[in-house]
């Protein structure tokens, strides 16, 4: 009997090109890499100002079930979402520190695209 994989629920902070590359890879079936004990799920996406940009982002990455993903128009809303385990920070590098700290203060794990500046 195979155990259910651990599901890591991601919150995506920003909707630019780096987030697109990351999320397309994230949505790749882990079994193609020989991994069966973990699965990744995009739980929420936020743009800095408009939730419609977050919804458009889901279409651009070809998300299979965008209706099941929370979309926000502020990063503060994203980090307050209890359905998010880890936040991927892909904002402009000049904002990394403040955005990573926002997520950390909300009790989220963080993956930051580039080093803090």
What string of pLDDT tens digits covers the 117 residues of the chain? 468 999 999 999 999 999 999 999 999 988 898 998 999 999 999 999 999 999 999 999 999 888 899 999 999 999 999 999 999 999 999 999 999 999 999 999 999 977 666
Pair type for strands 86-89 and 6-13: parallel
Which phi and psi angles does 84 have, rounded to 5°? -105, 125
Q: Which domains does the chain have, with CATH numbers?
A: 6-112 (3.40.50.720)
Cα 54–55–61 angle (5° rounding)?
90
Q: What is the pTM of this model?
A: 0.92
Contact by Cβ (8 Å): 71, 45: yes
């Amino acid at each position: 009997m195979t155990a259910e994989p651990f599901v890591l629920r991601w919150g995506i902070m920003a909707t630019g090109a780096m987030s697109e590359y990351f999320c397309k890879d994230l949505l790749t079936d882990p079994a193609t890499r020989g991994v069966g004990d973990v699965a990744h799920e995009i739980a929420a996406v936020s743009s800095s100002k408009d939730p419609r940009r977050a919804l458009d982002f889901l279409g651009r990455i070809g998300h299979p079930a965008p209706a099941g993903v929370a979309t926000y128009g502020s990063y503060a809303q994203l980090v307050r979402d209890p359905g998010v385990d880890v936040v991927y920070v892909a904002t402009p590098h000049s904002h990394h520190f403040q955005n990573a700290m926002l997520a950390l203060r909300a009790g989220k794990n963080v993956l930051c695209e580039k080093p803090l500046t």
